Every structure is written in C-alpha cells, then in structure tokens.
Chains A and B, each alone.
Chain A
C-alpha cells in the first residue's frame, strides 16, 4: 500500500505541474492584454508599457512561469494585477463559501440519491419506482440556474423564509446567518446532482440484482437483505464512488453558475471576475487550487474504491509492480 501511495503522490505532483504549464500557456494565448484593464481608455503607449512592466507581463514567458512556480513553492499565489492584493488570502476567503456549499450539497445529494436510486432499481416495476426514474430523468434536463431561480421565487420572494442571495458580510461569525444564506444554493445543487446520481445508483443496483453472486448467495440460504448487505452494496458502490468523485469535482468547478444566481462571493465568482479583467494571477491561483482539489478528490475516490473492493487493490497494485 505504501508503494501505491508514493506512486499516487508522484502522479499528483507531476499532474499538477503539467496542468500548471497548460494553464499558464493557455491563459497567455487568450486574446486581450491585461495592461488594458490596468490603464484607462486613452492611455499613451508609454503608460501601457509601464503597466506591462509593473505587472511583469513584458518579461519572457519562461521567466514568468518560473517566477510563478517559485512563488507557488513557497505557498504564495501571487498578487492580483488589478487590485494589487495578494491572491492567497482572497482564495481562502472565497473557499470559506465554496467548500461548505459544495460539501453540503454533495452530502445532501448522496443522502437523496442512494436510497432513491436503490428503490428505483429494486421496485422498478411499481409505480413509485417508475416515478423515481422519471423524476430523475427530468432532473437531469433541468438547468441549475433555472431551478435556482424557481427556488428563489418560491422560498425567498413569495414565502420570505430565506434570503434570495448574498452571504453575510461577516462571513461565518454568525453561523446561523451564514447557513441561512446557503440553504437555497445547497438545495439547488443537491437536487440537480442527485438527479444524475439516482440514475447511476439505479443502474449499479440493477447490475447487482441480476448478478450471479447475489443469486448464489440467496441459493445458499441468505435472505435478500443479508445477500445485499454482504455482497450487493459493496459491489454496487464501486462504480458509484468514481461517479461521486467526478460529481464532487465538477460541482466545485461548476459552482460559478449557482454563485452567480445567488450572489455568493465564492471561488467561482472570483474566477469570473479574474477572467473578465485578464487578471492572470487570480485566474491562475483559482485554477491551480481547483486542479489540486480535483486531483485530491480523484485520489480519495480511488482509495475508497480500493478499500471496498479487494480485487481492485490486488489487480492495480499487482499490475503496477
């Protein structure tokens, strides 16, 4: 297992570096000049050149890249071109919104999807089983911003139970307020996420229900519940966990839409602002942190799968040896 962990760690570092290079180069290929955002309309060529010099965008790309990597190595995400404020603390502040938002939505989605998906599979011939499948199909088709707006109209504008958007200026210093602001966005993400999860859980469960090992186990005298508990769930969860990893990662990155609908000062909105202003350090900082998060999530999902399924453990570590 240690060898595996070391290999995974090396893989993580190499992926991060590769991703950083791609990210860095792609950003520089975008049309537009960050100096435009820094100078006013009517700026003289000298002013624009001075702006470029002040942010270092007139230096050769490899030099800019090594400078950035050097900063990263010391845990410094750089300084925003536009605001001249350090990017690191800004990202941390935004994460204090985005991480609770994503994680709670994820947990809620799992709590909805696992039982619902199981019921949809096991009771597929009943009316409620069919209904569950139908609703989940519908849920996949619903755009997240539209659902968010509907929830705002119903629960914020009409009922007045929850705020329609925004996040307390004091952040988490009043947790009740902060939680209230996150309820509707969390529910929005969770509903959309669970719709697709239900389908995965359902098909994974169906596979297991039709499997030889379940039939064998029952033939050997287990009740359905016992057979499911001992063999079924474990087998069904392996494919589901990799999907969960992907869903979690994509929610973290896709939160920008929900953050915009609910006016939440999260990581996604920071990225959107950065892109609009060609603020490379901000864009790089956000994307670097997101890439790291996605790689870690993938790693965690992999690890959980291996713990659950010994065959995977043997096959992968054996194959790699």
Chain B
C-alpha cells in the first residue's frame, strides 16, 4: 500500500509552483468532494472520533456534530466567494484583501501553527496503530511513518496529492466501513445498517456511554462544537480545495459531495465505538461499568485505537485487522500531506518570496517549500513522542485556533467591504494571543517545569477561571465573537479601505460567471470605467 502511494506520487512529480500548490485548477465535483473527504479524514476522524465517543460518551458527540455540520456554514458563506477571489492560500487571501504584508505574515504564522498542532495528532495515531497492530514500539513507528510521508511529499506536489486523495479516500472509507459491517455482523450486533442498529446496544452499555453531560458541562460541549464548526470554516487546508475547481458552482457542489463522503464515516463512528466498548467488556470479562472505572478501565491509548481493537476483539483474521489499521494510516498520511503542503506554501510563498526575497525564482521557492516540509516533519515527530491529549483533542486545538483567528478574517473580508487593514491586524493579534494564552494556561504546565510550579501541579491550569471559560479545545466560543468585535470596531474607527479592494469584494459576490484562471483582482483591474486605478501588487 505504501508502495502504491510512492508510485502515484512519483508519476505526478511536478516541479512548477502552479502544479505544486493548486493542481492547475481543474478538478470536477465528485473527485474534489472525495479529495475534501480524504483531506478531512485524518486520524482524528478515523481513529480519534470513535475513541472520543467510546471514552467520553455524550461529550464525544460534540466532535461528530462539530466536524460535520461546519461544512454547511462553509458552503453558504465562504466556498463560492473564496473560489471567486481566486487566491492560492489563506495568507494570500488575507494579504490581498487587507493590502498588508504584516497580515500575510500573521496568517502564515497561524497556518504553520495549525499544521503543526494538527499533525501531532496524526503522528500519535500512526504510532498507536503501529504499537497495537504491528507490535512495534510507538517511537520507531512514528519515525518510520513520518519519514515515508515527508519523503513522498518532497517528491511530488499538490497534483500528486490530489490524485492520491481520491484514491486514499476510497481506500480508507472501504476499510472503515468494512470494519463496522464485519464487526457488527459477526458479533450479531447489526445486519445491514449498523449506523442505526447500534442503538439497540446502548441500553446494555454503561450509563457513561450515553448519559448527557457526565464528562463535561453543557458549556464545554457547546464550546467544543462551536470551535470545531467555525474551525472548519477557517482551516487553510480545507479552503485550498476550492482553488482546484473550475468554477464556483463546482466549488459549491463539491462541498456538498465532500460532506456526504465525510458523513459516510461519521455515521459509522459511534456504531464502532459502541461495538468496541461492548467487546472490550466481553473480552476482558468485566462489567460494562468497569470499562470506565477501576483497575481494568480502558486507557486513552486503547480508546484512540478502538476502531482497530474492535476488529481484533472480534477475532477477525489478521489480514482484516491489518486492512482496518491501514485505513487509519492512510487517513493520517493523507491529512498530514495536505497540512504539510499548506505549511510549505505558507513559508515558501507567503513568507519567503513575498516578504524576504521578492525576486525568488520558482526553483528557489520549491526548494524552500521542500525544506519546510522536512523541518516541520521533524518537529511534529519529536512532539508526538509524548503528546498532551487524545488524538481528537489535539486536532481540536488546531480547530479552535483556525476558528478564532482565520475564520473572522475570511468571513468579514468577504461579507463586509469596509473591513480594513487595521481591523484585520488587531483582530488577528487578539485571536492569536487568546489562543496561545489558553495553551500556555492549560496545556504547557504538563511540559514546562516552572509553569507547573506556578499552576500548582502539572495537570493544573495557571488561571483556573480562564481555563474554565476559554479551554484550548473550545477557545473559539469566546474567541470568535471577540475577534469579530475587535475587527469591526477597529475598522469603523479607521479609514475605509481603497476602492479597488472594495471592488474585489464586490466581484466575489457578483453572480457573473468568471473564467477558470481569473481572480477577482484581474476583473477589477480590467474594469476601466469604474474610476479606480488598477490595483497593483
């Protein structure tokens, strides 16, 4: 399987930047929908989600809701407009919309942070699968898998990644659904619709599995779902998918298809969690309650690979367990690939060629991009040896960052033409500070000695009240409205943006069809009669 990734990647090896980052903009509905699905379905969806539902019960459902329903908001408010704006990356959008290199740098930095935090979850997933399925140690497994991913990426670009993504989607959805169906069928839980039939099992499981607000308050539940929903709309590696389609109608429909392809997995995840929890109790000869408390309770690591363990507990053949595990690997690799591409373009394109060396040749850019992939890969690998939380939670940190910092920029940038540079800079700074503060407050005390001393223990927060209302996982519930307010207030207090900028925004909302290679900027520059001087870069 790994060999097939490498082969496809090699075949589509591309060295020009257009091919490297947006695959020349011409991919159809269903294929793009599958690519959205594959890009989306990280180890967090494939492994972490069932793990969260199994371990956290009703709170885990916040992740199911958050990671699916956000696509509707993305569709109605951003997808088509983004496509019309026609820029390569999130930092590109922010820079061109707000005419500010500083805004570009902030967005690129945010993009890098997102890619990094998100990938740590993926690497942990790879390591755990290796540990439970292949019996290897977690550390060498992480190193080997990350090396393969980085090597494959450094060879090919986005085009290879996109082709691969439709293939990867098929591989992983087949693996996942096969797992759900076969486990359900062989153990007598379900027949043709395990996605619904697992409901009959809920009564037999511990109260912990389904009782509402056992593991978290209503506030945390909502904060988590909110962060994931609006994080979806701010995720750079999801948005980049809209640049690879030919027009905005395709952008819209591929979002619908993408959501459907994602749902195929998300309908099944709680079923797999229920089967897994029940089998866990049966195999270990413990009562349903003992899964959650006591000596033999399920550990976080076991929860995170419950999808694979369920297949193992069901005494299915080794090759089948391997297939389910391979799906998890494919998910982790596909997403990591997408993230690293985003990170490399943020550094090579946004920071290096836009800010440091404007005369950079394509070759230099590609080189810098590849170097970034290698460096970020190394950092992620090291962090993943001792990650601070479950896979799904790690990934959720990245979402709350995207929802806090980038989503308000996209949304206001596209829906209110008077949003200006000062507003964007103020908003992004506030959002970044709020999120970083939240991480410092709640996550870092486990790692950094003196912070733990301040907090009064490694698992304590420095400022408990802040941790209660702005948990890293749900920071967007407070952060997003705050950034909106700051951005709007500052924009109102400072001069309006120039006419060309406003016209670009207007062009994003014009129903006039646009050519495939056109951006809003081109149209505005060509529109002589409007009295504005052509926008120059």
Does A associate with B in a complex?
no
